[in-house]
Structure 1
Amino acid sequence: MIGLLYHGHKVIVLYSLIFILILDKVSGDCKCGNGTKQGNNSEALKYKLSAIAAVLAAGGIGVSLPLLGKRYAALNPENDVFFMIKAFAAGVILATGFIHILPDAFRSLTSPCLDENPWGKFPFTGFVAMMASIGTLMIDTVATTFYKKVHFSKAKQVSVDEEAAEDDHTGHVHLHTHGHAHDGPAAPSHETSLSDLVRQRIISQVLELGILVHSVIIGISLGASVSPGTIKPLMAALSFHQFFEGMGLGGCISQAKFKSLTTMVMTLFFSLTTPMGIGIGIGISRVYNDNSTKALIIEGSFNSASSGILIYMALVDLLAADFLNPKMQNNARLQLGAHLSLLLGAGCMSFLAKWA
């Protein structure tokens, strides 16, 4: 039930954002900058359609690779190679938040069009990003606590039922205090593994939400462009962007061990969101006004929130969780490889900021 509510809420948020952006870009009254567009619409459309195919393929492959860990040992979440792959992907997500999304949010919320507006007189970009990080922490904590209580209560109930069935079968009455003496050491291990599983599920869902919000916006921006010279490098950059982001998200989904249906839904959502955004951008390209006051505020706010979520998730839930893992701390070679992978991922994504 919680999963259905989560996915339903995610759909409502995304489509509400899309609807508001369309209305505001069409009806915006700010005249800053050039309100007309010049470009080759027919040639641009070809590149946009190519971008949909390229981004869809890159995102689908990226998010699916870690999910193949059940078949290929090198991609198994417990493998040393996977630690380095995940560190690389975490570096990509961290650079996405700091280098790609946050500067866009600053540009939107510090636009000259907002000088007469309270939004131009306060550093809302940093404020929204900070509040999004705090909000993510709160959701992380509350959701983890809730899931733990639900799952642990079910596990204890199953244990009690099994003990009762055993007593009925043997005809003996056993006195139980907090648990069996002979399986005392196993209980904490079971609870620890269950806690880790719950934690991974929360991480993967919150991370995907932060990624999807930004994916809609960048998709609309590409689809609304009419300049082939802008679209071509952006298409390549977004393809790499989706591939590496997908690897990070796919790794989290793989470790969360969702059911097949949930895994498929989350994979499809990630793969399709940016292409959907591009399609919406194509539809509104003739009436697109990226200098609308309300559009700047909405885009800037959502980009700020998305950057706060991704930065928090990359640092706290991905990097800290893995780099403080005893398996990595006891292996100097693995530490070195993970650090280099992290720097390489962040560096590659930062380099792509030249075009995207």
Structure 2
Amino acid sequence: MHDTIQYCMAGTSEFQVMNPAASTATATEELPAQYTGCHAHDSTMYCLDNTGEEYELVAEGAETSEAGEGHEHESTESHEGQNCHFHAGVEHCVGAGESESGGTRSCERTDRTYNIPLRIGLLFVIFITSAIAVFAPILMGSYLQNNAVNFCLMILKQFGTGVMVSTAFIHLLTHATLMLTNECIAWPVQYEGTATAIMMAGIFLAFLTEYLGARFLFWRNDKHAPAGGSNSSVGSGDHDPEAGGGSLESGGGGGGGKTAPTNTLTTIAGCGNELMTHVHPGQEKLAVTVMETGIVFHSLLIGLTLVVAGDSFFLTLFVVIIFHQAFEGIALGARIAELPSSSSSSSPSPYILPPNTHPVSLTTKLTMGALFALVTPVGMAIGIGVLGEFNGNDPATLVAIGALDAVSAGILAWVALVEMWAGDWMHGGAMARAGLTRTVVGLGALVAGMALMGVLGKWA
């Protein structure tokens, strides 16, 4: 009972009892605890009570189902005549016949019953899934050294690039826009580009972090470079990367002892018939760190919004988040696995470590993976703690979640498009001169990552 209206559950769907005796009863009158013999006539369901009397049941929110088309819906008991649904787990309610972008909303908190033991149990499922997804590529790259494993890592890496692109634009930017355009926020000046403006700030923040980090690496390596300058100095900026015909002699320096100049930003290594160039390993580690920062921000929000979703939508959203975490874990793990472990050939990374460069230990890689595996469960734990107070339509909540989503979208957009996509395929990366088979498979994995993560955007 909610006030004087009786509701019943059939499977995961909620129905309002429309019989006049039931719908106008007072809270003290006895009503049937359950109904049997349910059957449908056209779009209306009828059920019998224990005396054989027939009652009409109407699916809650059926009259307004077109209001939030394209998103999973759950009707909210305390919002009679409204259609309530979830975007990334945050509830939004609109009136009958109103669109998502129009009409009036209730900004009040909705009281609902949550299955807390279920949420606590599934917290560990999220953790295990995230851990397997992120640790598998790291351990493969550290202990299994052969061409087949390297080929698999290439597939995972390109799949992860597609996942990150889709996450930035379909998941984060879309939901940031929905949050920041919610009518519960009383902006002093209406500006439709708020979310994209914050996203641009995230892009600039990611760029600035990597740029300043690169300048620091240049300064540090110049400081420790041998007097007189040598091939080992990194970051001088006086060398032309196109000098010497773009080639680097690996032998004893034929051609009269003339040594080709080295690009201070680039390390070149031969791998079969392919020529692979990469940025300084310190910059590569910084790029992966920036990428993980963007993932951590929005993974925390994912855990929070998953828990506060209503019970009838929770399991659907949980399944989607499982795949979401698996895809993101693979994307991050493949990039972490590529970080150089040592200067020996045992590392799967195609780097020749320059002087004064510390390899990334396996412990560091596992720590980076563990941070990803833990952050979503931590967000879920926070969500469980605030279940009794969380209001998805509170202006402060909307601004906080929307802004963090937009910043994360900008960070991941920079990393995905510049560092991962363009870095691998256009700027001397491993795929720039790859053979036909690797190119076709890599492109397929890239598109698959974007497509699969894009499909998940329907629910989360």
TM tier, shorter chain? Answer: 0.7 to 0.9
Q: 1:71 aligns with which of 109, 131, 143?
A: 143
Contact kept? 1:47, 1:228, Cα under 8 Å: no
Provide the rounded CA distance (Å) in 1 between the counterparts of 2:327 and 2:110. 35
The one of 123, 130, 139 aligned to 2:193: 123
| Partners of 1:83 and 1:38 in 2: CA distance | 46
In the alignment, what sits opposite 2:125? Answer: 54
Name the CA distance, whole Å, in 2 between partners of 1:210 and 1:350.
18
Deviation, structure 1 residue 121:
3.3
Give 3-state SS (helix, strand or coil) of 2:172's partner. Answer: helix
Higher helix proportion (structure 1 or 2): 1
Residues 129-169 of structure 1, C-alpha deviation per residue, up to 9 Å, x if partnerless? Answer: 01211221121111112123314533548x99xxxxxxxxx
Q: How many correspondences in the alignment?
A: 300
Alignment equivalent of 2:219, drawn from 149, 153, 176: 149
Does the CA contact (< 8 Å) of 2:425 and 2:431 recur in 1? Answer: yes
Equivalent residues of 1:63, 1:249 under 8 A apart: yes
Change beyond 3 A, Cα 1:76–1:143: farther
Pairwise CA distance, 1:275: 0.2
Q: Do the aligned partners of residues 300 and 71 (structure 1) sit closer, same or farther apart at CA in structure 2, a change above 3 Å counting?
A: same
Q: Out of 267-276 and 135-144, give the one that drifted further.
A: 135-144
How many percent identity over aligned positions?
A: 26
Residue of structure 2 aligned with 1:329, choices 413, 432, 439: 432
**Aligned 8 A contact 1:64 1:267 in 2:** yes
CA RMSD of aligned residues (A): 2.7
Counterpart in the other structure of 2:179: 108
Compute the displacement of 1:265 (Å): 2.4
Contact kept, 8 Å, 1:52 with 1:278, in 2: the verdict is: yes
Larger radius of gyration: 2
Task: Tell me which of the two structures has the higher relative contact order, counting C-alpha pairs closer than 8 angstroms and 6 or more residues apart.
Answer: 1
- Structure 2 equivalent of residue 38 of structure 1: 112
Do the aligned partners of 1:216 and 1:273 also contact (CA within 8 Å) in 2? yes
Report the CA distance between 1:56 and its aligned residue: 0.7
1:190 deviation in Å?
8.6
- The residue type paired with residue 154 of structure 2 is F
Instruction: Output aligned runs, 1:205-216, within 5 Å.
Output: 205-216=289-300
Residues 237 and 311 (structure 1 numbering): CA distance in 2 closer, same or farther, change over 3 Å? same
TM-superposition CA deviations, 1:215-266 (whole Å, max 9, x none): 11111111223x2222112212112111111121112222223223422321
In the alignment, structure 1 residue 291 sits paired with structure 2 residue 393 = yes
1:262-296, Cα deviation, whole Å (9 max, x unpaired): 22321221110000000000000011111111111
Structure with the bigger percentage of strand: 2
Cα displacement (A) at 1:317: 0.6
The corresponding residue for 1:354 is: 458
Distance 1:75 1:229, change over 3 A: farther
Q: Gaps (5+ residues) in structure 2?
A: 1-104, 231-251, 268-277, 341-359
Name the CA distance, whole Å, in 1 between partners of 2:189 and 2:380.
28
CA separation in 2, counterparts of 1:144 and 1:73?
Answer: 30
Displacement of 1:189 in angstroms is 7.5
Using the size of structure 1 for normalisation, the TM-score is 0.76
